[in-house]
Amino acid sequence: MRLLKLAAAGLAALGLTAGTALAAYPEKPITLVVSFAAGGNADVVARITAEAVSAELGVPINVVNKPGGAHIHATMSVVEAPADGYTLFQWSPPSFMVVPLTRKVPYSPSEDFIPFYAGQTASNALYVRADSPINTFEEFLEAAKAEKLTMGVNNLGAPPNLSAVQMASEFGLEFKTIALKTVPASITGLIGGQVDVAVGQIATINAFKDQIKPLIILDNNRQPFFEQHLPGVRTIGEAVPGKAAGVWVHGGLAVKAGTPQEIVDKLIDATAVLGTEAFQATLPPGIDYRFVHGTEAVGDLLQSGIDLYSPILDGLGLLAK
Amino acid sequence: MFDSAAVGIAFANLVDPFTMLMLVAGILLGLVIGILPGLGPPIAIALALPFTFYMDPVPSLILLLAIYNAAIYGGSISAIAVGIPGTGAAIATVMDGHAMYKQGRGGEALGLSLTGSIIGGLVSVVCLTFIAPVLATVAIKFGPREFLAISVFGLVVVVRVAGASLAKGLLVGGLGIFLTTWGLDELNGAERYTFGTYHLYEGIPLVPFLVGVFAVSEVLIGAERALKRVEFDVASLTVTIPGLKTLAKLKGNITRSSLVGTVIGIIPGEGAAVGAFFAYSEEKRRSKHPERFGTGIPEGIVAPETANNATVGGALIPTLTLGVPGSPAAAVLLGAFLIQGLAPGPTLFDERPDIMYSLFLGLFAINILLLFIGMVAIRFAAKLIMVPMTVIMPTVLLLSFTGIYAVSNSLFNVGVLLGGGILGYVVRKLGYSIAPLCIGFVLGPILENSLRQSITLADGSVAEFFNTPIGLGIYAALALTLLWGPISNRLKGKPSGGQAS
The reported pLDDT for the residue numbered B64 is: 94
Residue B488 is classified by DSSP as H
Subunit contact B202:A43, Cβ cutoff 8 A: no
**Helix, strand, or coil here: B191?**
strand
Subunit contact B409:A68, Cβ cutoff 8 A: no
> Which residue in B141, B187, B338 is closest to A44 by CB distance?
B338
Q: Which of A41, A54, A73, A79 is the best mutation test for B, with the most CBs of B within 10 A?
A: A73
Task: Please tell me the distance from the alpha carbon of residue B169 to that of residue A136, in angstroms, as a whole number.
Answer: 53
Task: Please tell me the distance from the alpha carbon of residue B423 to that of residue B417, in angstroms, as a whole number.
Answer: 10
Q: Could you tell me the pLDDT band of residue B495, with boundaries at 50, 70 and 90?
A: low
Residues in B closer than 8 angstroms to A72, CB to CB, are 198-199, 201
**Helix, strand, or coil here: B183?**
strand
Distance from CA of A24 to the nearest CA of B (A): 28
> Which residue in B143, B341, B413 is closest to A285 by CB distance?
B341
pLDDT for residue B231 is more than 70: no
Max mean pLDDT range (B192-201, B296-305, B456-465): B296-305
Sign of CA dihedral A320, A125, A127, B270: negative
Task: Please tell me the distance from the alpha carbon of residue B481 to that of residue B270, in angstroms, as a whole number.
Answer: 21
Distance from CA of A295 to the nearest CA of B (A): 28
Subunit contact B409:A77, Cβ cutoff 8 A: yes
Inter-CA distances, B500 with A170, B244, B489, Å: 61, 33, 13
pLDDT for residue B133 is more than 60: yes
Contact by Cβ (8 Å): A248, A93: yes
Q: Give me the mean pLDDT over the B383-389 stretch.
A: 71
The reported pLDDT for the residue numbered A159 is: 92
If we measure between CA atoms, which residue out of B364, B266, B360 comes closest to residue B318?
A: B266
Q: What residues contact residue B344 under an 8 Å CB cut-off, 6+ apart?
A: A207, B319, B320, B321, B322, B323, B334, B337
User: What is the amino acid identity at position A133?
Assistant: P
pLDDT for residue A55 is more than 60: yes
Burial per residue of A275-284, b for 16 or more beta-carbon CB atoms within 10 angstroms, e otherwise:
eeeebeeebb
Residues in B closer than 8 angstroms to A286, CB to CB, are 338, 343
Q: Are strands A288-293 and A113-121 parallel, antiparallel or unpaired?
A: antiparallel
Q: Which of B198, B450, B455, B461 is the best mutation test for A, with the most CBs of A within 10 A?
A: B198
Q: What residues contact residue B406 under an 8 Å CB cut-off, 6+ apart?
A: none
Subunit contact B53:A51, Cβ cutoff 8 A: yes
A57-82 pLDDT, tens per residue? 999 999 988 887 889 989 999 999 99
ipTM: 0.78
- Mean of the per-residue pLDDT values of chain B: 84
Residue B216 is classified by DSSP as I
| Helical (H) or strand (E) element with B192 | strand B191-192
- Is B68 near chain A, with CB under 8 Å? no
Residue B49 is classified by DSSP as G
- The whole-angstrom distance between residue A58's C-alpha and the CA centroid of its chain comes to 27
Considering only residues B225 and B174, tell me which one the structure prediction assigns the higher pLDDT. B174
pLDDT for residue B329 is more than 80: yes
Which of A80-84, A161-165, B2-6, B169-173 shows the lowest mean pLDDT across its residues? B2-6
Report DSSP letters for B372-418, one per residue: HHHHHHHHHHHHGGGS-HHHHHHHHHHHHHHHHHHHH--HHHHHHHH
- The pTM of the full predicted model, rounded to 2 decimals, is 0.80
Distance from CA of A261 to the nearest CA of B (A): 29
Max mean pLDDT range (A110-114, B186-190, B491-495): A110-114
Residues in B closer than 8 angstroms to A205, CB to CB, are none
> Which residue in A77, A156, A185 is closest to B324 by CB distance?
A185
HEC readout, chain A: CHHHHHHHHHHHHHHHHHHHHHHHCCCCCEEEEECCCCCCHHHHHHHHHHHHHHHHHCCCEEEEECCCHHHHHHHHHHHCCCCCCCEEEEECHHHHHHHHHHCCCCCCHHHHEEEEEEEEECCEEEEEECCCCCCCHHHHHHHHHHCCEEEEECCCCCHHHHHHHHHHHHHCCCEEEEECCCHHHHHHHHHCCCCCEEEEEHHHHHHCCCCEEEEEEECCCCCCHHHHHCCCCCEHHHHCCCCCCCCCCEEEEEEECCCCHHHHHHHHHHHHHHHCHHHHCCCCCCCEEEEEECHHHHHHHHHHHHHHHHHHHHHCCCCCC
Give strand pairing partners of A218. Answer: A124
- Is B208 near chain A, with CB under 8 Å? no
Subunit contact B198:A208, Cβ cutoff 8 A: no
If we measure between CA atoms, which residue out of B33, B498, B474, B112 comes closest to residue B267?
A: B474
Subunit contact B331:A51, Cβ cutoff 8 A: no
The reported pLDDT for the residue numbered B46 is: 76
Contact by Cβ (8 Å): B79, B69: no
- Is B53 near chain A, with CB under 8 Å? yes
- The whole-angstrom distance between residue A316's C-alpha and the CA centroid of its chain comes to 21
Residues in B closer than 8 angstroms to A179, CB to CB, are 186-187, 449, 453
Q: Which of A51, A178, A204 is the best mutation test for B, with the most CBs of B within 10 A?
A: A178
If we measure between CA atoms, which residue out of A205, A244, A235 comes closest to residue A127?
A: A205
- The whole-angstrom distance between residue B174's C-alpha and the CA centroid of its chain comes to 21
If we measure between CA atoms, which residue out of B203, B268, B263, B266 comes closest to residue B441?
A: B203
| Length of chain B, in residues | 501
Subunit contact A73:B198, Cβ cutoff 8 A: yes
Contact by Cβ (8 Å): A290, A226: no
Q: What residues contact residue A168 under an 8 Å CB cut-off, 6+ apart?
A: A174, A175
The reported pLDDT for the residue numbered B371 is: 93
The reported pLDDT for the residue numbered B83 is: 84
> Which residue in A38, A66, A102 is closest to B410 by CB distance?
A66
Which of A14-23, A130-139, B93-102, B151-160 shows the lowest mean pLDDT across its residues? A14-23
Subunit contact A284:B341, Cβ cutoff 8 A: yes
Sign of CA dihedral B119, B125, B129, B132: positive
User: What is the amino acid identity at position A317?
Assistant: G
Give backbone dihedrals phi and psi of A151, rounded to 5 degrees, phi first: -110, 125
Distance from CA of A190 to the nearest CA of B (A): 9
**Helix, strand, or coil here: B184?**
strand
Q: Could you tell me the pLDDT band of residue B488, with boundaries at 50, 70 and 90?
A: confident
Residues in B closer than 8 angstroms to A80, CB to CB, are none
Q: Could you tell me the pLDDT band of residue A14, with boundaries at 50, 70 and 90?
A: very low
> Which residue in A43, A178, A184 is closest to B457 by CB distance?
A178
Distance from CA of B188 to the nearest CA of A (A): 8
Subunit contact B268:A185, Cβ cutoff 8 A: yes
Q: Exposed (0-12), middle (13-18) or buried (19+): which is B225, by Cβ within 10 Å?
A: exposed
Q: How many Cβ atoms sit within 10 Å of the Cβ of residue B4?
A: 8
> Which residue in A44, A64, A209 is closest to B335 by CB distance?
A44
Task: Please tell me the distance from the alpha carbon of residue A38 to that of residue A67, in angstroms, as a whole number.
Answer: 8
Q: Give me the mean pLDDT over the A276-289 stretch.
A: 89
Task: Please tell me the distance from the alpha carbon of residue A48 to that of residue A284, in angstroms, as a whole number.
Answer: 9
Task: Please tell me the distance from the alpha carbon of residue B140 to that of residue A193, in angstroms, as a whole number.
Answer: 8
List all residues of chain B from 319 to 338 with a beta carbon under 8 Å from chain A. 322-324, 331-336, 338
Residues in B closer than 8 angstroms to A155, CB to CB, are 186
pLDDT for residue B471 is more than 60: yes
Q: What residues contact residue B182 under an 8 Å CB cut-off, 6+ apart?
A: B192, B193, B194, B200, B203, B204
pLDDT for residue B287 is more than 90: no
If we measure between CA atoms, which residue out of B250, B274, B265, B12 comes closest to residue B119?
A: B250
Q: Give me the mean pLDDT over the A133-159 stretch.
A: 94
Report DSSP letters for B427-479, one per residue: HHHTT--HHHHHHHHHHHHHHHHHHHHHHHHHTT-HHHHT--HHHHHHHHHHH
**Helix, strand, or coil here: B495?**
coil
pLDDT for residue B476 is more than 70: yes
What is the C-alpha R_g of chain A? 22
Subunit contact A150:B457, Cβ cutoff 8 A: yes
B49-79 pLDDT, tens per residue? 777 877 889 999 999 999 999 999 999 998 8
Q: Could you tell me the pLDDT band of residue B229, with boundaries at 50, 70 and 90?
A: low
Give strand pairing partners of A216. Answer: A126
Q: Could you tell me the pLDDT band of residue B162, with boundaries at 50, 70 and 90?
A: low
B163-220 pLDDT, tens per residue? 567 788 889 889 999 999 999 887 777 889 989 888 888 889 887 888 888 888 888 8
Subunit contact B198:A72, Cβ cutoff 8 A: yes
| Helical (H) or strand (E) element with B334 | helix B328-339
Which of B5-14, B57-66, B162-171, B353-362 shows the lowest mean pLDDT across its residues? B162-171
List all residues of chain B from 90 to 149 with a beta carbon under 8 Å from chain A. 140-144
Contact by Cβ (8 Å): B307, B276: yes
Contact by Cβ (8 Å): A244, A236: yes
B28-40 pLDDT, tens per residue? 999 988 888 767 7
Subunit contact B410:A69, Cβ cutoff 8 A: yes
Q: Could you tell me the pLDDT band of residue B227, with boundaries at 50, 70 and 90?
A: low
Give backbone dihedrals phi and psi of A36, rounded to 5 degrees, phi first: -110, 160
Q: How many Cβ atoms sit within 10 Å of the Cβ of residue A295?
A: 16
Residues in A closer than 8 angstroms to B413, CB to CB, are 68
Helices (H), B36-165: 41-48, 57-81, 91-100, 106-139, 144-162
> Which residue in B189, B198, B457 is closest to A157 by CB distance?
B189
Task: Please tell me the distance from the alpha carbon of residue B471 to that of residue B143, in angstroms, as a whole number.
Answer: 10
Q: Give me the mean pLDDT over the B412-434 stretch.
A: 92
Distance from CA of A252 to the nearest CA of B (A): 18
> Which residue in A188, A208, A318 is closest to B189 by CB distance?
A318
The reported pLDDT for the residue numbered A12 is: 46
Distance from CA of B26 to the nearest CA of A (A): 17
Distance from CA of A300 to the nearest CA of B (A): 28
Q: Are strands A30-34 and A87-91 parallel, antiparallel or unpaired?
A: parallel
pLDDT for residue A162 is more than 90: yes
Q: Give me the mean pLDDT over the B103-131 stretch.
A: 91
Q: Give me the mean pLDDT over the A263-275 stretch.
A: 96
Give backbone dihedrals phi and psi of B190, rounded to 5 degrees, phi first: -65, 145
List all residues of chain B from 445 to 484 with a beta carbon under 8 Å from chain A. 449, 453, 456-457, 459
pLDDT for residue B339 is more than 90: no
Task: Please tell me the distance from the alpha carbon of residue B180 to that of residue B200, in angstroms, as a whole number.
Answer: 11
Distance from CA of A238 to the nearest CA of B (A): 31
The reported pLDDT for the residue numbered B226 is: 61
B236-274 pLDDT, tens per residue? 667 778 888 888 899 999 999 999 999 888 877 667 888
Burial per residue of B388-426, b for 16 or more beta-carbon CB atoms within 10 angstroms, e otherwise:
ebeebbeebbebbbebbbebbebebbbebbbbbbebbbe
**Helix, strand, or coil here: B328?**
helix
The reported pLDDT for the residue numbered A11 is: 46
- Is B410 near chain A, with CB under 8 Å? yes
> Which residue in B49, B142, B408 is closest to A39 by CB distance?
B49
Task: Please tell me the distance from the alpha carbon of residue B318 to that of residue B112, in angstroms, as a whole number.
Answer: 29
Distance from CA of A205 to the nearest CA of B (A): 11
The reported pLDDT for the residue numbered B285 is: 81
If we measure between CA atoms, which residue out of B169, B166, B155 comes closest to residue B499?
A: B166
Residues in A closer than 8 angstroms to B412, CB to CB, are 69, 73
- Mean of the per-residue pLDDT values of chain A: 89
Inter-CA distances, A313 with A169, A182, B60, B98, Å: 12, 20, 42, 53
